Amino acid sequence: MDQGLLVPDELVVDLVVDRVNQEDCKNGYVLDGFPRTIPQAEALDRALAEMGQKIDYAIDVEVPDENIVNRMSGRRACVDCGATYHIVYAPTAKEGICDKCGGELILRDDDKPETVLKRLGVYHEQTQPLIDYYTEAGVLREVDGTIDINDVFAAIVQILGE
């Protein structure tokens, strides 16, 4: 990591397995954003199988790229305290000024539309094979991510209760 390289998949899986073996995970757990690649998914499946466990559900929260670009490019961050806002969904009282400390708000480089689109391209390259992988395994469930956040949450809770 110090050299800017990715951590090997087996090490990441070992860390996840160590974590899910903690007492607070004995009744279940949710992995968010992992696995990200087919090799990670396969390694996780092998490790879980050795423990007599398996993935119950993989949940794909579907949001069109256009919505993601709009959401991210509307975010603003305070240069002083780091507070975040959104020009539509969580605006400040005074445009461009942080409500908490009065600092200047900026559009971070990683929230610029061109950067978001590049990141989405990489995401789709890596994620579509995972969607196919979990579809074939019979565990993929999809949730409409364009609906109200409370409804997204309720849909996920309903899936987990199946």
pLDDT, tens only, 92-146? 999 999 999 999 999 999 899 999 999 898 888 888 899 999 999 999 999 999 9
pLDDT digits (tens, 9 = 90+) for 7-28: 788 888 999 999 999 999 999 9
Domain membership of residue 3 as a residue range: 1-55
Its pTM stands at 0.76
Number of domains in the chain: 2
- In DSSP notation, 10-47 reads HHHHHHHHHHHTSGGGTT----SS---SHHHHHHHHHH
Domain-embedded: residue 160 = no
Question: Where is pLDDT greater, at 107 or 33?
Answer: 107
Domain-embedded: residue 151 = no
Q: Do both 51 and 96 map to the same domain?
A: no
Q: Do both 81 and 134 map to the same domain?
A: yes
Domain-embedded: residue 89 = yes
Q: Do both 8 and 71 map to the same domain?
A: no
